[in-house]
Amino acid sequence: MMSKKRILLCVTAGIAIYKVVDLVSRLIKREYELEIIMTESATKLISPLVFETMGKCKVHTDMFHLGHHEEVEHIELAKRADLCLIAPATANTVAKITYGIADNLLTSTVLAYNRDLMIALAMNTNMLNNKATVENIEKLKQRGVQFINPEVGVLACNTIGDGRLAEPEEIARKIDEYFIEKDLKGKKIIVTAGPTTERIDPVRYITNDSSGKMGYAIAENAKKRGAEVILISGPSSIEVPKEVESIFVNTNNELKQAIEKNFNWTDCLIMAAAPCDFKVKEVSGSKIKKTGSNLILELKENEDILAYFGNKKNNKLLIGFAAETDSLIENAKSKLKRKNLDYIIANDITKPDAGFNVDTNRVKIISKNKIVDLPLMLKREVANNILDLIK
């Protein structure tokens, strides 16, 4: 994140308030700065001290307290915020905001606030579906208020229905999305991720340790930054990022076919997948039985998919990865040239905090004439550095 963004979090008295403590923790980890307002009723559900401690900020609750009044609190709070989020937002507060009612610190501040407002709804299904609430939400939408829709689930009133506050991670994601610069708008990117598998027989296969974390992080951030993204993934347990089109493959051949189908469409291919370098020469059609002696499998080299697309790249940008255990720069540079790439992201997979199956990576971005050495960082931060190359 470039500079710290300040979120004014307005907390009203919905039972889902307990989830907002988790949300605050997630926002702090993402390095947002918070200011929090709670309604008096909200403070009866959770102590402001919890929010103050988790949010590392002052919690404002009272309009008419004595103390420092050199500044007009609700006006200054409204001025300082880059984004105002109401979570959980009760039907009552939604109604007041619709009609410009300013009867407490929270509603007065929202009335004085003149930038983007986000509302995460949480209420009983009947209250949500009541015509009054439906109309209020519609009116606010027309004024440009963004809603984070509630989910269907078990509610505090022991019913199952619509009205449950969205999960904290989903709300945090929406906020990230709001702040992120859409600097890749108009770009069409294919990202490959994860391992491939090559059959030995109907029940066994060869694969590798790739988890897909790096490729999925690239796909997710590219989407957030406004690009159109196709994620082509080998088997992976990671959830496909929201709104990213995905194609699942197993073998190298399936991976190559999936890229081929979309290659004309794309401006950029980022090959973060770890395709199997070898496949079994004769795949057995039936399960290979034990015989009491060793089994020898003959492996043959698989086609280099990236080199194949490097050969027909025209003006497309091609970015590959080099997973190395030794002579990192030398090996990566040779792959850059051999596969006709624009950039290669080299990482030393012998380091425990980089490479396969961890959340961090330490990479060098190598092009024909330049090596950029990045420090240890989260894979999503590495992803953004890679995506900067496309911009």
Find tokens 């959770």 and name the residue. 46
Among 271, 280, 328, 383, binds ligand CTP (CB under 6 A): 271
Minimum distance of ligand CTP from residue 4's CB (angstroms): 35
47-57 burial: b if 16+ Cβ within 10 Å, else e: ebeebbebbeb
- Choose one: 34-42, 157-165, 321-329, 363-371; the region binding ligand CTP (CB under 6 A): 321-329
Cβ distance to ligand CTP smaller for residue 139 or 313: 313
Q: Is residue 304 a contact residue for ligand CTP (CB under 6 A)?
A: yes
The answer to whether the beta carbons of residues 300 and 281 sit under 8 Å apart is yes
Token pair listed for 187: 């770009």
Q: Exactly one of 10, 84, 157, 268 is catalytic; name it.
A: 157
Number of shown-chain residues binding ligand CTP (CB under 6 A): 14
Q: Could you count the other beta carbons within 10 Å of the beta carbon of residue 22?
A: 15
The answer to whether the beta carbons of residues 387 and 218 sit under 8 Å apart is yes
Tell which positions 57-76 bind ligand CTP, by CB under 6 A.
none
258-292 burial: b if 16+ Cβ within 10 Å, else e: bbeeebeebbbbbbbbbbbeebbeeeeeeeeeeee
Of 118, 120, 42, 39, the residue nearest 81 (C-alpha): 118
Minimum distance of ligand CTP from residue 270's CB (angstroms): 8
Q: Is residue 216 a contact residue for ligand CTP (CB under 6 A)?
A: no
- Choose one: 29-37, 183-191, 272-280, 362-370; the region binding ligand CTP (CB under 6 A): 272-280
Find tokens 């109309």 and name the residue. 135
The answer to whether the beta carbons of residues 356 and 215 sit under 8 Å apart is no
The answer to whether the beta carbons of residues 228 and 187 sit under 8 Å apart is yes
If you count them, how many residues does the chain have? 391
Q: Is residue 348 a contact residue for ligand CTP (CB under 6 A)?
A: no
Q: Is residue 213 a contact residue for ligand CTP (CB under 6 A)?
A: no
268 belongs to the catalytic site: no
Q: Is residue 249 a contact residue for ligand CTP (CB under 6 A)?
A: no
- Choose one: 153-161, 269-277, 279-287, 361-369; the region binding ligand CTP (CB under 6 A): 269-277
Q: At what angle do helices 91-98 and 105-112 cross, to 10 degrees?
A: 40
Q: Could you count the other beta carbons within 10 Å of the beta carbon of residue 72?
A: 12
Find tokens 């904290």 and name the residue. 168
Minimum distance of ligand CTP from residue 269's CB (angstroms): 9
Q: Is residue 214 a contact residue for ligand CTP (CB under 6 A)?
A: no
Q: Is residue 323 a contact residue for ligand CTP (CB under 6 A)?
A: yes
Q: Is residue 306 a contact residue for ligand CTP (CB under 6 A)?
A: yes
Q: Is residue 254 a contact residue for ligand CTP (CB under 6 A)?
A: no
Minimum distance of ligand CTP from residue 369's CB (angstroms): 20
- Applying CB under 6 A, which residues contact ligand CTP? 252, 271, 273, 275, 277, 302, 304-306, 320-323, 335
Residues that are catalytic: 157
